[in-house]
Amino acid sequence: MSFLDSFTDSLLSIVDTGMDALSDAANFVAENPGKTAVVAVGTALTGGLALAAAPTVGALASVAGFGAAGGTLSGAAASSAGLAAIGGGSLAAGGAGMAGGTAIVTATGALAGGATTAAATSLADKRAKRDS
């Protein structure tokens, strides 16, 4: 078996696994539209709140000592420096900058909200089944 054949087989296996996972997810959504809606709304709300809170998180990160001048800045400068530090550094230094920091804070908030609402809906479902 040549390298190309082996590579092609591996790639097709990965694609097949991904398609199976996508099919399973679509079936879950079709069978549980209410739960899916609750989790989606929870994820969107917490992601939005995290986006709104990103400047404050950046300022707290700067005050905590992260970033180039961590702990010495205040206000918008602290927020900008903190978000850039969360984003891996400034664009000039090869990091993702403030936009990257904002994206990380927002994604973390959305992930936490999605996980929390998923756990809450699962717990509510278990209690409903137990009480029935």
Residue type, position 106, single letter: T
Task: Please report, for the chain, the start and end positions of each structural domain, with discontinuous segments joined by +.
Answer: 1-31, 33-131
pLDDT confidence of residue 132: 74
The number of beta carbons lying within 10 Å of the beta carbon of residue 28 is 12
d(CA 113, CA 29): 18
Mean pLDDT computed over 92-111: 95
pLDDT classification of 57: cutoffs 50, 70, 90: very high
Does residue 96 carry a pLDDT above 90?
Answer: yes
In contact, 97 and 87? CB cutoff 8 Å: yes
- Give tens-digit pLDDT for 107-124: 999 999 999 999 999 888
Does residue 1 carry a pLDDT above 80?
Answer: no
More confident residue, 47 or 132: 47
Tokens representing residue 123 in the block: 């717990």
Backbone angles phi, psi at 68, to 5 degrees: -65, -40
d(CA 69, CA 124): 47
Mean pLDDT computed over 83-92: 93
Cite the DSSP H helix spans in the chain.
Answer: 3-31, 33-63, 75-86, 97-131
Query: What pTM did the predictor assign?
Result: 0.76
Does residue 11 carry a pLDDT above 80?
Answer: yes
